[in-house]
Structure 1
Amino acid sequence: MSYLSLPRLTFSGLFEGDVNTVNNDVRNYSSSTFEPRFQEAWVQHPDGKTTYNGWWNPDGGNTFRLLDCAVSGAVGPDGAAAGDVALSLRIATQTARTAAKLVDLDPQYQFASGIWGLRLELTDGKRTLMAGTFQPACFRDVYFGRLTDKVTGQPVGGSPGASARFTGVLTELVWHEGAAASPVLAAFKASAEKNQGRLSLSLMTYGYSKSRGTTDFTFGRVLGTLAPWFSGEPLTFAPGRRFSPSIADAASGPPSASQYNIGYLNAAFAPGNTSLVVDFGMSLPLWLLPSGDKNIVDGQRIVPQDLGPIRVVVLTRADTVGADGTISTPIMEGAAVADSDYVVIGTLTDYGGAWLASTGGVVNMAVPEAARALVGDHPLALLIQVKGAWTVGIRESNGGQWARADDFVQRLDAPVKGWASSTVTLHAMRYGAPFAGASLAVSLSAPDDTSGGAGPDEVKPPQVKIPKINVPADTVRFDASLTADDRGVAVLTYYAADPGNPREYIDGQIYEINYALAGGGQSPLPMFEQVAVHVRDGFDPPATPSWETDVAPVLVQYGNLYPIMSRGLFSFSDYNTVVQHARLLYLAFTRPPEDPNYMPATRDLSAGKLRMIVNWLATFLPGAPGDYGALPVAKVGATLEPSAPPPVLGDVAVRRGSPGLRKAIRSMGHGTPVPPGVKA
């Protein structure tokens, strides 16, 4: 059940995502065409056009912080936590260490930004009762158009109007003896000791500001949920039941929300189906209230929209699966239902801003006996009143079936010759149970030259083309079909050879690997729910690196892209200055990638190029160790397994969105306005 388990702590507050945006545009990676203005903020013109330059935050440091966060709610092992010591605790992060980092996989894949190097503590102000390291995790379930301005009635565009969730595990746990005074913390400790020393942590973010010159610039709201993690569970999402919007138009692909603007959500039953936990935290649409609104609590202007009573039900008419895998769904999203069509599990009636902060939107409901007899093989649904009739606002995925990748963002060094391989774990579920024997289809997205650029309103674009991704296709190999084992787990093994620098001015290539349960029916996953792989170019470090031909091209590019370093620290393009700071650079380049001080922050440098730079820096540092510890070793090529065929091309079968819609959303670039005609 991951973060949906009991006991559970909720905390609320602010997050800072001071992302760098020069690297939002892949064309800015071209050192030969780079212009100084690309380190300046964009200019938005009265006619609606934009000179993007370095986009909206060119001097960002990729920092991620949790600020002013405190425990706002708790549910104990037995469902109660009144008076628990944990309710008085605050959240501290990065004690005696630099800020965590928030970075994209690549400028041409910006929909899986990851947090690296976050250390979280629960403290009473005098002592730390518990601390743990959040293992690198990327956001998913991006919900565009979640926030609506209540005055204008218009959705807030781009990332300020969106919401996303980071789910991962806390490791390297440290406990103070005072934690024993809290039943919740004591239960956390006992669970972690039985489950590989891990707890589950999920961070839901919303209300992000990219308005330069304002006090909340690069800040947003965060709700954190801390709970036990159990061995065998996925690391980056909650298993269980999955509610997903229907697809009215198959060509448009999976939307962010249902026709009633209710987003994807997760739920899970406790053993015996006596209790159901539902995560409304990422699903309910939000209002941006005007100043002075009576619903503002503690200055918080973002609150859930009031949809009226929301019934959580199990439908009495079951979905059926044909011999060809086609799923028939007698009660779909948007259907008005009679009393005989469902059994009520629980009703949500009071869900304002204070409720969201105290619960994180995660609610436990006792399951009546009449519902328990159905939930094993009948779909769940949320009902809302539309024109006086109870109507399906969103429902469980067709046939209760869904599959999801765990380690879905990958960085892989290609060997100079031969093939390297990696694996992705896919979990298939049916009505919350492992879907043993499930068949999955896997494909490679079609070539795409629209990712990582600006929108149609662009003025003075960089003078270089946007490169294609997903090419060449013959340098990646994987099976087009997989079968889940008795645990509902299928392992995708993919192979990659040196892509040959197809993007020319930026290292490696991005490959988007799509997956879905075979057969028809709606996708229970959002549009950009894919396996995203950055295959780095094969590179053999020279025995004696040269500044001009080997080192400078790498450092100059980083200096162009990150003004906070090249302007705030020192020039990365000047030989004498770099040599003068060789020791500082040496320390940064030899940190493990999980360290917040690791360089480069984007973690996109191949092992070969990293070793080349470290070897060159070491020549200026007498006594520098020859063993670099965490420094990765370049891949040695292997023979391709004969069972790995060329990939199947195209993503239509797994419903990841039409090319037009994908292009429109990608062009939003972390916060540009939504293009006309696109609901995002």
Structure 2
Amino acid sequence: MSYLNTLRFHFAGDFFSNPSTVNNDPAHYENALFDRSTLWKRQDATGMNGWWNPEGAHAFRFQNVKTTAAFHTDGTPVQPASDAVLSLNVESRIRNSAKMVDLDPDQQLVSMIFGLRISLTNDDGDELLAGIMDPAPFTEIWQRGNTGAGDERASAAYQSTVNVTSWGDLSSSLFLQQLKAASSDVLSIKFNVDGYVMSFDSPRFATGRVVGSIGTASAAEPKHFIAGRHFETAARPNDIIFPGFRPVNGINYCVGIHDITRNKFRLDLGNALPVTPSKGPINTAILGQLFLGCKMADGTVKEIDEIPYAGGNWYETSAGIVEVPANRTLTANENSLINSSVVCILSQTAEGKKIITEEANGSAYVRADMFVARMNPGDATEIKFFATQFGKPLPKARISFAFSIPRHIVVADFPSGGLNFPSSIQTDAAGLATLRLQAIDPGNARIYYTETFPREHIDGQVYRINYGLIGRRTPNISDFLSVLVWNTFTPDNPITWHGSMKDVMTQFGDMYPIMANDQNISLDLADYEQISQQRLKILHVVKLTVEDPMYMPVTRDLSRTRQEALIKWLENVGADGKPLLGTPPVVPHYIATNIPLTHFSPASDPGSKTIFGEKMQKNSVNKINLESND
């Protein structure tokens, strides 16, 4: 049961996201060198400065999103004249927008959405359904479009669950009655984002297209991916891995499920097909006709049927989900072939017919459900893995794990001891396995420069952990773990502004200009007096859960020991009613000179993900050998 089952509805419209981009550059984290007069400005002829949107608020919300199609339990489409579900608005907030933030300046390719409220409303404002989406990172980013600059060409996907908070009057919708009966507490959601406009002069600045689906959910299934049939792809030679990644045959990673109950094979191509122009319709000229097939052990292919796609507003109304065969059911022989063969997709163009994507590893696949973690020293986090073959659980499969160390970090200075985990784990009879991560204080050891500028003051260490089935390839380049382990922070005693809090708060103030410049907020986190005046408000938002859209700091990069110190400092006021000021230090912590203004080189392309992709391409990472048996 998931958004890819029959009982589901689709939606399409715009999304708005305005992240602050000052914190995209690791060099900006050194307080002593931060120059607000330049780094709070947008990119100009002199360089990146504050990148393309320094005064962003990290908001994320849907705009003008409407339901576009729905399907009953038996797979029949809902008819607009008989069901109100096809005339509803899909909204994402009442008062406060959700927040979208990167994990770390050294990992900007798993941007995560927190506090997204999803609701279905009619034009009178009546709410028929409401819920909160579990925080989720994007995955499988690629270059989908062929026009525009920066991230406008890119596309990525979010998948999660929505915890239902209320159902309204459903008398006007049989479909929503069925959805509530089948999955009243939790729903499955998947949406794709593309066509994001980064030009400040455009009326669509910070806006892109969102297309997605919502359906039933099951506790036995992963929240953030489909445990089905996964199709791999490959990059063109010399391509940027993310997000300039362009598949050789024009089709990105995608997934399908074999619905044996209805004798159908259902594909999700929502984030897999190219478009032209960016944010436009599917580019059929690249792919031609598509067919579903089964690849035998000897390499021969048995075609199943054509994959109907494209045309008009096909993408917006289908969310890229398509059933094969379209006008009949699978035969007993076809069901048998799908159950025991590698499934593939073929393309028919003027140049002939060929396989453009197929399952790897004899249809064996493993994936982590949640693949991003934020951890404090002493924390233990458990990550679930699901292994399948031919879409069924794969028992007693061994999964291997190893660090992947970026080449721009000196290996001797990479504190791998900050995160412990086993070298391998084994799945149970249900194809499930759990990896336990144990965090230890990594120390502040991110070294990018030497001599006069020994390190940047970024809290903690970000780790990439590669994984895969032992003896098999990892077919999807997005399938790895990203883990941020913070340092242990030891404040002065008693905690004072000059002794501990100034360095911490100044950095947040520098990285988030809108706090000081927005007249509705007017709080400079580098200013002791302003903090003192708004002490109670700051205490309130710092104590919220990280999932709350009002949580502070909005970037979600405050460690627990720093959070505890900040709360204690704000609560322990002196005789003047203000937090303790302390004594200014006699000398700076250190003095650095002749240091590059920016860690990343300025580029003509303003896309933050694109620039980070360039960095990843230039600084390739070590890959683990999954052929061993240890």
Which category describes the TM-score, using the shorter chain as reference length? 0.7 to 0.9
Q: Does 1:538 align with 2:488?
A: yes
Length-normalised TM-score, structure 1? 0.79
- Paired amino acid for 1:39: W
Q: Does 1:473 align with 2:416?
A: yes
The equivalent residue for 1:345 is: 305
Indicate if the aligned counterparts of 2:240 and 2:617 stay in contact, CA closer than 8 A: no
The equivalent residue for 1:226 is: 214
Shift in Å, 1:183 = 2.5
For 1:502 and 1:202, locate their aligned partners in 2 and report how far apart those are by CA, in whole Å.
38
For 1:67 and 1:225, locate their aligned partners in 2 and report how far apart those are by CA, in whole Å.
16
The equivalent residue for 1:636 is: none
Indicate if the aligned counterparts of 2:361 and 2:472 stay in contact, CA closer than 8 A: no
Structure 2 CA distance for partners of 1:675 and 1:234, relative to 1, 3 Å: closer
Could you give the per-residue CA deviations for residues 387-427 of structure 1, whole angstroms, max 9, x where no partner exists? Answer: 44221111122300111111211011114xxxx32211111
Indicate if the aligned counterparts of 2:161 and 2:188 stay in contact, CA closer than 8 A: yes
2:459 to 491, 507, 511: 507
**For structure 1, which segment, 267-276 or 242-251, has the greater mean C-alpha deviation from structure 2 after superposition?**
242-251
Shift in Å, 1:74 = 1.1
Q: Does 1:184 align with 2:164?
A: no
For 2:404 and 2:417, locate their aligned partners in 1 and report how far apart those are by CA, in whole Å.
13
Shift in Å, 1:386 = 3.8
Indicate if the aligned counterparts of 2:266 and 2:323 stay in contact, CA closer than 8 A: yes
2:382 to 423, 443, 456: 423
Structure 2 CA distance for partners of 1:511 and 1:401, relative to 1, 3 Å: same
Indicate the SS of the match to 1:13: strand
Indicate if the aligned counterparts of 2:129 and 2:164 stay in contact, CA closer than 8 A: no
Identity, in percent, stands at: 29
Structure 2 CA distance for partners of 1:98 and 1:519, relative to 1, 3 Å: same
1:483 to 421, 426, 434: 426
Indicate if the aligned counterparts of 2:91 and 2:119 stay in contact, CA closer than 8 A: yes
The equivalent residue for 1:38 is: 39
Structure 2 CA distance for partners of 1:576 and 1:477, relative to 1, 3 Å: same
Indicate the SS of the match to 1:615: helix
Trace 1:314-329 onto structure 2 (pairs within 5 A). 314-315=294-295, 317-318=296-297
For 2:411 and 2:50, locate their aligned partners in 1 and report how far apart those are by CA, in whole Å.
21
**For structure 1, which segment, 428-437 or 249-258, has the greater mean C-alpha deviation from structure 2 after superposition?**
249-258
Structure 2 CA distance for partners of 1:505 and 1:674, relative to 1, 3 Å: closer
- Paired amino acid for 2:84: V
Trace 1:213-292 onto structure 2 (pairs within 5 A). 213-246=201-234, 256-272=245-261, 274-288=263-277
Q: Does 1:525 align with 2:479?
A: no
The equivalent residue for 2:162 is: 170
- Paired amino acid for 2:51: W
Indicate if the aligned counterparts of 2:112 and 2:136 stay in contact, CA closer than 8 A: yes
Trace 1:140-151 onto structure 2 (pairs within 5 A). 140-143=139-142, 145-149=143-147
Q: Does 1:577 align with 2:540?
A: no
Q: Does 1:591 align with 2:550?
A: no
The equivalent residue for 1:602 is: 555
Indicate if the aligned counterparts of 1:165 and 1:202 stay in contact, CA closer than 8 A: yes
Q: Does 1:111 align with 2:132?
A: no
Could you give the per-residue CA deviations for residues 504-535 of structure 1, whole angstroms, max 9, x where no partner exists? Answer: 501111111111111144x3212x43111110
Structure 2 CA distance for partners of 1:506 and 1:469, relative to 1, 3 Å: farther
For 2:401 and 2:271, locate their aligned partners in 1 and report how far apart those are by CA, in whole Å.
28
- Paired amino acid for 1:491: T
The equivalent residue for 2:151 is: 159
For 1:132 and 1:668, locate their aligned partners in 2 and report how far apart those are by CA, in whole Å.
32
Q: Does 1:204 align with 2:195?
A: no
Indicate if the aligned counterparts of 1:64 and 1:102 stay in contact, CA closer than 8 A: yes
Shift in Å, 1:588 = 1.4
Shift in Å, 1:542 = 5.0
Indicate if the aligned counterparts of 1:245 and 1:257 stay in contact, CA closer than 8 A: no
Indicate the SS of the match to 2:366: strand
- Paired amino acid for 2:292: V
The equivalent residue for 1:98 is: 96
Indicate if the aligned counterparts of 1:77 and 1:187 stay in contact, CA closer than 8 A: yes
Indicate if the aligned counterparts of 1:258 and 1:394 stay in contact, CA closer than 8 A: no
- Paired amino acid for 1:496: A
The equivalent residue for 1:562 is: 512
The equivalent residue for 1:64 is: 60
The equivalent residue for 2:453 is: none
For 2:50 and 2:469, locate their aligned partners in 1 and report how far apart those are by CA, in whole Å.
40
For 1:668 and 1:474, locate their aligned partners in 2 and report how far apart those are by CA, in whole Å.
34
For 2:217 and 2:393, locate their aligned partners in 1 and report how far apart those are by CA, in whole Å.
17
The equivalent residue for 2:132 is: 133
Indicate if the aligned counterparts of 1:158 and 1:674 stay in contact, CA closer than 8 A: no
Indicate the SS of the match to 2:556: coil
Structure 2 CA distance for partners of 1:535 and 1:363, relative to 1, 3 Å: same
Indicate if the aligned counterparts of 1:158 and 1:673 stay in contact, CA closer than 8 A: no
- Paired amino acid for 2:136: A
Indicate the SS of the match to 1:573: coil
Structure 2 CA distance for partners of 1:250 and 1:148, relative to 1, 3 Å: closer
- Paired amino acid for 1:537: N
The equivalent residue for 1:652 is: none
Indicate if the aligned counterparts of 1:157 and 1:673 stay in contact, CA closer than 8 A: no
For 2:281 and 2:512, locate their aligned partners in 1 and report how far apart those are by CA, in whole Å.
33
Shift in Å, 1:612 = 1.3
2:608 to 653, 669, 679: 669
Shift in Å, 1:677 = 14
2:569 to 588, 611, 616: 616
- Paired amino acid for 2:485: V
Could you give the per-residue CA deviations for residues 348-368 of structure 1, whole angstroms, max 9, x where no partner exists? Answer: 2x5134010101011122442
The equivalent residue for 1:659 is: none
For 1:383 and 1:157, locate their aligned partners in 2 and report how far apart those are by CA, in whole Å.
31
Structure 2 CA distance for partners of 1:87 and 1:16, relative to 1, 3 Å: same
The equivalent residue for 2:498 is: 548
RMSD (CA atoms): 2.8
For 2:400 and 2:530, locate their aligned partners in 1 and report how far apart those are by CA, in whole Å.
53
For 2:617 and 2:463, locate their aligned partners in 1 and report how far apart those are by CA, in whole Å.
25
Indicate if the aligned counterparts of 1:66 and 1:93 stay in contact, CA closer than 8 A: yes
For 2:422 and 2:390, locate their aligned partners in 1 and report how far apart those are by CA, in whole Å.
27
Could you give the per-residue CA deviations for residues 8-38 of structure 1, whole angstroms, max 9, x where no partner exists? Answer: 1101000011011001101111111111211
Q: Does 1:446 align with 2:405?
A: yes
The equivalent residue for 2:69 is: 73
Indicate if the aligned counterparts of 1:476 and 1:496 stay in contact, CA closer than 8 A: yes
For 1:575 and 1:564, locate their aligned partners in 2 and report how far apart those are by CA, in whole Å.
17
For 1:442 and 1:55, locate their aligned partners in 2 and report how far apart those are by CA, in whole Å.
35
- Paired amino acid for 1:264: Y
Indicate if the aligned counterparts of 2:52 and 2:606 stay in contact, CA closer than 8 A: no
Shift in Å, 1:250 = 12
Structure 2 CA distance for partners of 1:468 and 1:352, relative to 1, 3 Å: farther
Q: Does 1:516 align with 2:504?
A: no
Any gaps of 5 or more consecutive residues in structure 1?
Answer: 45-49, 150-155, 290-299, 319-329, 332-339, 451-466, 625-663
Structure 2 CA distance for partners of 1:392 and 1:470, relative to 1, 3 Å: farther
Indicate the SS of the match to 2:485: strand
Shift in Å, 1:570 = 2.2
The equivalent residue for 1:52 is: 48
Q: Does 1:24 align with 2:29?
A: no
